[in-house]
C-alpha cells in the first residue's frame, strides 16, 4: 500500500441558486430549481512518501474541491483517503484522527487566511496549541524553528501580517502549516499570486522542505512549467474527473489525451513568440450540464462518432500512464 | 518623423501620503504605435497600474500627475478636465481590468450595457443599430450563440466568457488605444490562448494600440511586439520582444528571465533575485536596483542615465549581453 491512497473520491453539491438567480426566479423570469453540481465525479490516486503529485485542470474542474476533501475541510459524498493506512475521512480510530492532522493545506492567498489583528506568533501557534501538537512552553522554540525553516528571522513573530510583502506572507503561511508537523501538504495555487521573482523563492522553499522533512505534496497550479518543475506524478482533470495521469517526465514528453496536448501547446512560453495558430474553440462545459459522451468532445479536434455517444474510462496505456480517450484502444466504453 | 499613437515623456505620478511621497511613477517614457502591442512587465508595486490609470486620467487623491506629457495622436492628455477625459475614455481609449466585473454591471443584461456604452458616446445611433453593433462585437470576440448571450446577465456567463464580453465592450467604440491590466491572469491556459489570439488579430485588423500589463513573461512573449520592464516607477529596459527576452541588458530583466522554471532541469534550484522590492517611500540613492544587483559598483550610487543599444534602451551602468562600444548615452 502507498503512503497516500485516494480511492473513488466524489463530491456533489446541491446548489442554492445565487441571489440574482433567485430574484429572477421569483419574478418568474427563470426557473429556480436547485440542480446538483457534480464537482468531483471520481478521483483516485496514490503517492509514496516524499513524492509530489501535480494537479492541473481548467477553472471549475474540481481541483480545489479535491484539495479541500483531502485537507478535511469538505466532506466527500463518497470515497476514502488513507494516509499511512489510516482512514482520514472516517477518522474512526485515535490513529486516524492524528493522521488527519498530518495533512495541512496552504492557500492561494495566505494573507486572506490570517487574522490581521493576530501577531505572527499567534497565527503560527494557534492550531498546534489547540490540537495539542505542541505545549505552551514549547511555543517560542517551535515558532523560531518553523520561521527558520522558511528563512525568516524569529523577530518577525511579534509583528502583524500587514507588515510583510506578499512573498513573505506566503512563507509565513507555510511556516504555520509546518508548525503542525504535517506529513502531507496540500498547496492550492500557492504561488499563483506571486511575482515571478518571489515565486522562485517559494518554489525553492517547497523543494528544500521536501528534502529536509521528507514531506509529501499535492500541488495544484495552472502553470504547467511550475508543475513540471516540482512534480513526480501529474494528474490532469477535466470537469470533475482525471483524464490523464502519468509520471511527470513521461506526461510532459508523451501527452496522450487531446486536452493535455492542448494545454501543452497553449501554455504561454518564452519560446512561443508572436504565435499565430488558432486556439482551441469552444467553452469549458458546465458541471451542471455536461455534454453527452466524452466531456471534452465538443472542443476536441479528433472527436469521433463514439466520443459523442460514450464516456471513455481511464485506462492504462503503459506502466503508470493512464488516459481516458477513445483514440487509445484500451479506453473502452463506460456508457 | 512619423508620429506614434501614444507618446509618454517624463511622466511623474506621485501619491502624497501621510508617510511621505510615494513616487509610484517617476519619469516614465513610453511610445505605442498604431496596431502595436506593448507588454508592461515588472515587479509588484513598480507602478504599472498607476501608469495605466495616469493615461486614462483615473488617478485620484492623494495621487496626481506632477510632471510630464501624455500625447495621444499628438494631443496632450495631461491637464485635460475630468469631463474631457471622460469623453476620451471609452471613445479613444478603453480599459480592460483583471476582474471583468469592474466593467460589467451585474444587474443589467449584456445587450443593455452594450447599447448604453455605444449611445453614451453617440446619441445619434439608433437602438437597433447599437444592438447590431453589440452583436457584431460579441461575434468578433468569439462568443458562441451571441444572440442568446446578449439576453444574459453577467452571472450567467463563465469567467472566460465574461472577460470576453468586457473586451467586446472595450472594442465597441473602436478606440485607438486599449490598456489591459492582467486581463487573463484569472483564466486558464486554453481560454487565455483564445483571448491572446483574438487581441492580436484585432490589433492587426483595426490598428488599435495596446498596452498589456502583466507579470507573466510567457504571455508577454506570445502577444507583444515590444516589452517594457518597470522597476520602482521607471522603465528600466524597453525594446522589441526578441531583443528584451533573448539579450536583456538590465540585470533586473536578466534576473526575471533566469528565475522562471521554464527550460530548467526538473527539480533544480531556481535562480532567485536576492533581496526585496524597495519601499517607494525610501528608495536607495542612485540606481534603485543597486542593493539587489550582482553587477553593482560604486558608479551605481548615481542614477543611471538612459542608454541605447542597437535594439533596446535601458538604464544601467553595467549592462549584460552588451559590447560596451555598441552602447550610447542618450542625450
Ligand atoms: N460550496 C459549493 N457549492 C456549490 N458548488 C460548488 C461549491 N464549491 C465548488 N462548487 C462548484 O464545483 C465545481 C468545482 O469547483 P472547484 O473550486 O473545485 O474548481 P477548481 O478546479 O478549483 O477551479 P479554479 O481553477 O477556478 O480554482 C465548480 O463548478 C464550482 O462552481
Ligand atoms: N492610493 C494610493 N495611495 C498611496 N500609494 C499608492 C496608491 N495607489 C498606488 N500606490 C502606490 O504606488 C505604487 C505602484 O502601485 P501599482 O499598483 O501601480 O503597482 P503595480 O506595478 O501595478 O503592481 P502589481 O503588479 O502588484 O499590480 C505602489 O507602491 C503603491 O503602494
Ligand atoms: S475521447 Fe474523443 S473527444 Fe474525448 S478527448 Fe479523446 S478523441 Fe477527443
Ligand atoms: Mg480552485
Ligand atoms: Mg497592478
The alpha carbon of residue B208 and the mean position of all alpha carbons in its chain are separated, in whole angstroms, by 14
Tell me if A303 CB under 6 Å of ligand 3.
yes
Residues in CB range of A297: below 8 A, 6 or more apart: A291, A303, A307, A308
Check if the beta carbon of residue A324 is closer than 8 Å to that of residue A296: no
Taking the C-alpha atoms of residue B233 and residue B238, their distance in angstroms, rounded to an integer, is: 14
Shortest-distance ligand to the CA of residue A74: 1
- Does B108 touch chain A if contact means CB atoms closer than 8 Å? no
The alpha carbon of residue A171 and the mean position of all alpha carbons in its chain are separated, in whole angstroms, by 18
**Arithmetic mean of pLDDT over chain A:** 87
Q: What is the pLDDT of residues A190-234, one digit of tens each?
A: 877 677 777 888 899 899 989 988 999 999 988 899 999 999 999
| Percent of chain A's residues with pLDDT above 70 | 89
Nearest CA to CA, how far is A129 from chain B (Å)? Answer: 32
**Residues 181-200, chain A: which have Cβ within 8 Å of B?**
195-200
| Percent of chain A's residues with pLDDT above 90 | 57
Q: How many residues does chain A have?
A: 335
Position B326 scores a pLDDT of 56
Which cell numbers in the block locate residue A124? 503560527
- Does B215 touch chain A if contact means CB atoms closer than 8 Å? yes
| Average of per-residue pLDDT across A36-55 | 93
**Ligand 2, atom nearest to B52 Cα:** 18
Pairing of strands B93-96, B177-181: parallel
Q: Which of B142, B191, B193 to mutate to test the interface with A (most CBs of A within 10 A)?
A: B193
Among A59, A165, A222, whose Cβ lies nearest the Cβ of B276? A165
**Averaged pLDDT in 10-residue chunks for chain B of 331 residues:** 83 91 93 95 88 94 94 94 89 88 90 91 88 90 83 83 88 91 78 83 90 91 94 95 94 94 90 82 89 93 90 92 61 43
Check if the beta carbon of residue B314 is closer than 8 Å to that of residue B306: yes
Show me where the domains of chain A are located: 4-269
**Ligand 1, atom nearest to B186 Cα:** 26
Nearest CA to CA, how far is B158 from chain A (Å)? Answer: 8
- Does B310 touch chain A if contact means CB atoms closer than 8 Å? no
pLDDT band at A335, cuts 50/70/90? very low
Residues in CB range of B223: below 8 A, 6 or more apart: A274, B37, B39, B196, B199, B200, B212
Which of A299, A325, A328, A331, when mutated, tests ligand 3's pocket best, judged by the most ligand atoms within 8 Å of its CB? A325
- Does A253 touch chain B if contact means CB atoms closer than 8 Å? no
Which cell numbers in the block locate residue A238? 477535466
Q: Which of A16-30, A60-74, B315-329 is predicted most confidently?
A: A60-74
Contact state of B189 with A268 under an 8 Å Cβ cutoff: yes
Position B1 scores a pLDDT of 44
| Average of per-residue pLDDT across A269-287 | 73
Residues in CB range of B156: below 8 A, 6 or more apart: none
Contact state of A222 with B189 under an 8 Å Cβ cutoff: yes
Taking the C-alpha atoms of residue B40 and residue B230, their distance in angstroms, rounded to an integer, is: 7
User: Is the model's pLDDT at A108 over the cut of 80?
Assistant: no
Q: What is the pLDDT of residues B69-128, one digit of tens each?
A: 999 999 999 999 999 998 898 789 999 988 888 889 999 999 999 999 898 888 888 999
Nearest 5°: phi and psi at B199? -70, -40
Among A20, A229, A266, whose Cβ lies nearest the Cβ of B193? A266
**Residues 221-260, chain B: which have Cβ within 8 Å of A?**
221-223, 225, 241-242, 245, 255-257, 259-260
Position A193 scores a pLDDT of 67
- Does B325 touch chain A if contact means CB atoms closer than 8 Å? no
Closest CA to B216 of B34, B42, B37: B42
Position B327 scores a pLDDT of 59
- List the beta strands (DSSP E) in chain B: 6-17, 20-32, 37-42, 63-72, 75-76, 93-96, 177-181, 209-213, 226-231, 234-240, 307-308, 313-314, 328-329
Q: Is B50 helix (H, G, I), strand (E, B) or coil?
A: helix
Check if the beta carbon of residue A135 is closer than 8 Å to that of residue A172: no
User: Is the model's pLDDT at A20 over the cut of 70?
Assistant: no
Q: What is the pLDDT of residues A122-174, one digit of tens each?
A: 999 999 999 999 999 999 999 999 998 887 888 889 999 888 777 788 889 98
Helix ranges restricted to H, A84-223: 94-101, 120-130, 139-149, 166-178, 196-213
Check if the beta carbon of residue B312 is closer than 8 Å to that of residue B244: yes
Shortest-distance ligand to the CA of residue A287: 1
> What's the per-residue H, E or C state across A194-256?
CCHHHHHHHHHHHHHHHHHHCCEEEEECCCHHHHHHHCCEEEEEECCEEEEEEEHHHHHHCCC
Position A17 scores a pLDDT of 57
Q: Is the pTM of this model over 0.90?
A: no
Contact state of A270 with B194 under an 8 Å Cβ cutoff: no
Tell me if B13 CB under 6 Å of ligand 2.
no
- Does A16 touch chain B if contact means CB atoms closer than 8 Å? no
Taking the C-alpha atoms of residue A171 and residue A165, their distance in angstroms, rounded to an integer, is: 10
CATH level 3 topology of A4-269 = Rossmann fold (3.40.50)
Residue nearest atom 26 in ligand 1 by C-alpha distance: A59
Q: Which residues pair with B76 in a beta bridge?
A: B71
Amino acid at each position: 500500500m502507498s503512503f497516500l491512497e485516494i480511492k473513488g473520491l466524489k463530491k456533489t453539491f446541491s446548489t442554492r441558486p445565487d441571489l440574482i438567480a433567485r430574484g429572477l426566479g421569483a419574478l418568474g423570469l427563470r426557473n429556480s430549481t436547485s440542480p446538483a453540481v457534480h464537482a468531483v465525479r471520481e478521483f483516485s490516486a496514490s503517492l509514496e512518501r516524499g513524492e509530489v503529485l501535480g494537479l492541473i485542470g481548467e477553472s471549475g474542474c474540481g481541483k480545489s474541491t479535491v484539495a479541500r476533501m483531502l485537507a478535511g475541510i469538505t466532506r466527500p459524498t463518497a470515497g476514502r483517503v488513507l494516509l499511512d493506512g489510516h482512514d482520514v475521512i472516517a477518522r474512526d480510530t485515535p490513529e486516524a484522527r492524528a493522521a488527519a492532522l498530518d495533512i495541512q493545506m496552504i492557500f492561494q492567498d495566505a494573507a486572506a487566511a490570517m487574522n490581521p489583528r493576530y501577531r505572527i506568533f499567534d497565527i503560527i501557534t494557534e492550531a498546534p496549541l489547540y490540537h495539542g501538537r505542541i505545549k505552551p512552553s514549547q511555543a517560542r522554540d517551535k515558532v523560531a524553528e518553523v520561521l527558520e525553516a522558511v528563512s525568516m528571522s524569529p523577530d518577525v513573530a511579534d509583528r502583524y501580517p500587514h507588515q510583510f510583502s506578499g512573498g513573505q506572507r506566503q512563507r509565513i503561511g507555510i511556516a504555520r502549516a509546518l508548525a503542525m508537523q504535517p506529513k502531507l501538504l496540500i498547496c492550492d495555487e500557492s504561488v499563483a499570486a506571486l511575482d515571478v521573482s518571489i515565486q522562485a523563492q517559494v518554489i525553492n522553499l517547497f523543494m528544500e522542505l521536501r528534502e529536509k522533512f521528507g514531506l509529501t505534496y499535492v500541488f495544484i497550479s495552472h502553470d504547467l512549467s511550475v508543475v513540471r518543475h516540482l512534480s513526480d506524478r501529474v494528474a490532469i482533470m477535466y470537469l470533475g474527473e482525471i483524464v490523464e495521469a502519468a509520471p511527470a517526465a513521461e506526461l510532459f514528453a508523451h501527452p496522450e489525451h487531446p486536452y493535455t496536448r492542448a494545454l501543452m501547446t497553449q501554455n504561454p512560453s518564452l519560446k512561443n513568440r508572436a504565435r499565430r495558430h488558432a486556439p482551441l474553440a469552444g467553452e469549458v462545459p458546465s458541471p451542471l450540464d455536461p455534454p453527452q459522451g466524452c466531456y471534452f468532445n465538443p472542443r476536441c479536434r479528433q472527436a469521433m462518432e463514439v466520443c459523442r455517444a460514450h464516456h471513455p474510462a481511464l485506462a492504462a496505456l503503459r506502466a503508470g500512464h493512464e488516459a481516458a480517450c477513445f483514440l487509445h484502444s484500451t479506453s473502452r466504453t463506460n456508457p | 518623423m512619423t508620429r506614434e499613437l501614444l507618446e509618454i515623456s517624463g511622466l511623474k505620478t506621485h501619491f502624497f501620503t501621510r508617510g511621505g511621497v510615494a513616487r509610484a511613477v517617476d519619469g516614465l517614457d513610453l511610445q505605442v504605435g498604431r496596431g502595436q502591442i506593448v507588454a508592461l512587465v515588472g515587479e509588484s508595486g513598480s507602478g504599472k497600474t498607476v501608469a495605466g490609470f495616469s493615461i486614462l486620467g483615473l488617478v485620484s487623491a492623494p495621487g496626481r500627475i506632477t510632471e510630464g506629457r501624455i500625447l495621444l495622436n499628438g494631443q496632450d492628455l495631461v491637464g485635460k478636465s475630468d469631463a474631457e477625459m471622460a469623453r476620451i475614455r471609452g471613445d479613444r481609449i478603453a480599459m480592460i481590468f483583471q476582474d471583468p466585473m469592474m466593467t460589467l454591471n451585474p444587474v443589467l443584461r449584456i445587450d443593455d450595457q452594450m447599447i448604453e456604452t455605444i449611445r453614451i458616446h453617440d446619441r445619434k445611433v439608433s437602438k437597433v443599430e447599437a444592438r447590431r453593433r453589440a452583436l457584431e462585437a460579441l461575434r468578433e470576440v468569439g462568443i458562441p450563440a451571441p444572440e442568446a448571450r446578449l439576453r444574459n446577465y453577467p452571472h450567467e456567463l463563465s469567467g472566460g466568457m465574461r472577460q470576453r464580453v468586457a473586451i467586446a465592450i472595450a472594442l465597441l467604440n473602436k478606440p485607438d488605444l486599449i490598456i489591459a491590466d492582467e486581463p487573463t491572469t484569472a483564466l486558464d491556459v486554453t481560454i487565455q490562448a483564445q483571448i491572446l489570439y483574438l487581441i492580436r488579430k484585432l490589433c492587426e485588423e483595426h490598428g488599435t494600440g495596446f498596452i498589456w500589463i502583466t507579470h507573466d513573461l510567457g504571455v508577454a512573449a506570445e502577444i507583444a511586439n515590444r516589452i517594457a520592464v518597470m522597476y520602482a516607477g521607471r522603465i528600466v529596459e524597453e525594446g522589441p520582444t526578441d531583443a528584451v527576452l533573448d539579450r536583456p541588458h538590465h540585470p533586473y530583466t536578466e534576473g526575471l528571465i533566469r528565475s522562471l522554471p521554464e527550460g530548467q532541469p526538473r527539480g533544480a534550484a531556481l535562480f532567485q533575485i536576492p533581496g526585496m522590492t524597495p519601499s517607494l517611500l525610501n528608495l536607495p540613492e542612485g540606481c534603485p536596483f543597486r542593493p539587489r544587483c550582482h553587477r553593482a559598483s560604486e558608479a551605481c550610487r548615481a542614477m543611471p542615465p538612459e542608454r541605447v543599444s542597437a535594439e533596446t534602451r535601458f538604464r544601467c551602468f553595467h549592462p549584460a549581453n552588451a559590447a560596451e562600444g555598441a552602447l550610447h548615452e542618450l542625450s
